[in-house]
Amino acid sequence: MAKQRKQFVCRDCGAVAPTWTGQCASCSGWATIDEVHAPRGGSSSPVANLDLPPLSSFDFSGAIPVPTGLDEVDRVLGGGVVPGGVTLISGEPGIGKSTLTLQLSMSMAATGAGVLLVTGEEAPAQVASRASRIGEVPPSLAVLDDTSTDAIVGAMQSTRPALIVIDSIQTLRADGVEAAPGSISQVREAAARIVEAAKRHSVSVILIGHVTKDGNLAGPRLLEHVVDTVLSFTGDRHHDLRFLRTVKHRFGPTSEVGLFEMTGLGLEAVTDPSARFLSDRRAGAPGSVVVPALDGHRPVLVEVQSLVIPTGERPGTFVGQGVASGRLKQVGAVLEARAGVKLFGKEIFISAAGGAEATDPGVDLAMALAIVSAVAEDPLPPDLVAFGEIGLAGEIRSVPQAERRLHEAFRLGFRTAVVPRSVPDGPTGLRLVRVDDLPSALVRFNARANR
Ligand code: TYD
Ligand code: MG
């Protein structure tokens, strides 16, 4: 028999303590520590005549994705949902997770596939009313108004739907576990049972999980290793744009991004993000530079705007919106140290216009040009784009997908591109200005930026 050793585990948060305590040091719960006996590792008896199957003997045909019919979601998932695969969609409350999954369920059910919605958050009548506003409700979309894992697994077994959507993981009760719904031990155990049943019955499962801005609420973080796919659904609640991103994906690509707009009739796919981000642009303003940024694998044109205001005798401060704040600070430091641009005593704002997100390193050069254009009050030509990573020595470094970035810029009417030296020729009619370092990228401003 395996030897046992004592462990003290918190019933609510799962933290392991070396000794028994009245209060859990991790979640601060009182009287939640249980003594459990854990088997010592490495003591199992040796197995004779091990007959292990070769990897090639396994059938992997089950991993072929089934389209949901919601194209942006299918693209992000690399084709659709996988039978037996469990996907976690996490996001802040109110961002649109229920709406997205309802649309996806309606779309998939419209093909005749059986889809089951577990409505732990809302009453079925509420969901039905929302569904009727979005479109025709297919007859093969069923509802389970019960959050016990036994009920869900039972429904999986008896109805064998193609897809089950569970809204949300925080409302589930794992039968026999005594912690409150939403507590870590409930979420963990409920998810484990659902995942096991999904694999056994080859049912695709989508779990919805709430997170707060700091990712704090019990659940999603804890589940990332249990599920096959993690998607995060984000956006600024004051803007209509929503981003669906892959955090982890066992069955497909991991850096596709789906873009939606929240409308009165549910979420609508944004099919031409570049055109949408540039629609309100006032070309020819100082501090405005367009960058073909990477959104996952695809290039999307984003306007980077800068505004620089004097703040007196203080080091420069940087405020970024929709850009990587660490990269912004670094670009500012390199501008000062390698190109002699004086940012002391200035507050520098940089924003990706229209709620866009431009965080790839290729955005560096556009940020630098925008800042200097704002400082010099000198607009860049309206048909110019720029991309390239800026190194600490002030060199302009190459970035992935250069050719596709150039084509996207040309498609939207841009005719000049400031790019790293190594970038190959793009479409005919697009003039490339190849630059080695920051000073050579800023030549046109030299007369004015350092005043
Ligand atoms: P919801 O999907 O309920 O968010 P979550 O499940 O992530 O908490 O959607 C939240 C918001 O979306 C809500 O404030 C209303 C808005 N909304 C629309 O603007 N249009 C619509 O068609 C729907 C269904 C919701
Ligand atoms: Mg919801």
- Tell how far the Cα of 137 is from the centroid of ligand 2, in angstroms: 19
From 275, 277, 247, 241, select the one nearest 259 (Cα to Cα): 241
Of ligand 1's atoms, which has the minimum distance to the CA of residue 102?
2
| pLDDT higher than 90, residue 282 | no
- Tell how far the Cα of 167 is from the centroid of ligand 2, in angstroms: 7
Of ligand 1's atoms, which has the minimum distance to the CA of residue 240?
19
What's the mean per-residue pLDDT of the chain? 88
> In a mutational test of the pocket of ligand 1, which residue from 97, 99, 102, 126 has the highest number of ligand atoms less than 8 Å from its CB?
99
Nearest ligand to the CA of 169 is 2
Nearest-CA residue for atom 18 of ligand 1: 264
pLDDT of residue 3: 47
What average pLDDT score do residues 375-388 get? Answer: 95
- Tell how far the Cα of 100 is from the centroid of ligand 1, in angstroms: 9
What average pLDDT score do residues 334-354 get? Answer: 94
> In a mutational test of the pocket of ligand 1, which residue from 262, 263, 265, 268 has the highest number of ligand atoms less than 8 Å from its CB?
262
What average pLDDT score do residues 57-81 get? Answer: 86
Of ligand 1's atoms, which has the minimum distance to the CA of residue 101?
2
- Tell how far the Cα of 104 is from the centroid of ligand 2, in angstroms: 14
Record the pTM.
0.80
4 confidence band (pLDDT: 50, 70, 90)? low
| pLDDT higher than 80, residue 233 | yes
Pairing relationship of beta strands 266-269 and 288-295 according to DSSP bridges:
unpaired
| pLDDT higher than 50, residue 405 | yes
What average pLDDT score do residues 403-411 get? Answer: 96
pLDDT of residue 62: 57
- Tell how far the Cα of 128 is from the centroid of ligand 2, in angstroms: 14
Nearest ligand to the CA of 89 is 1
180 confidence band (pLDDT: 50, 70, 90)? confident
Q: How far is CA 45 from CA 2, 6, 42, 51, in A?
A: 9, 22, 9, 16
**Backbone CA torsion sign across 285, 300, 106, 126:** negative
pLDDT of residue 432: 97
448 confidence band (pLDDT: 50, 70, 90)? very low
How is 31-76 classified by DSSP, letter by letter? S-EEEEEEEPTT-PPPPSS--PPPGGGS--GGG--B--S-HHHHHH
What average pLDDT score do residues 92-112 get? Answer: 95
SS3 325: helix
- Tell how far the Cα of 2 is from the centroid of ligand 1, in angstroms: 52
How is 164-199 classified by DSSP, letter by letter? EEEE-GGG-B-TT--SPTTSHHHHHHHHHHHHHHHH
Query: Do residues 209 and 223 make contact, with C-beta atoms less than 8 angstroms apart?
Result: yes
Nearest ligand to the CA of 121 is 2
Question: Omega before 168 cis (within 30°)?
Answer: yes
pLDDT of residue 283: 83
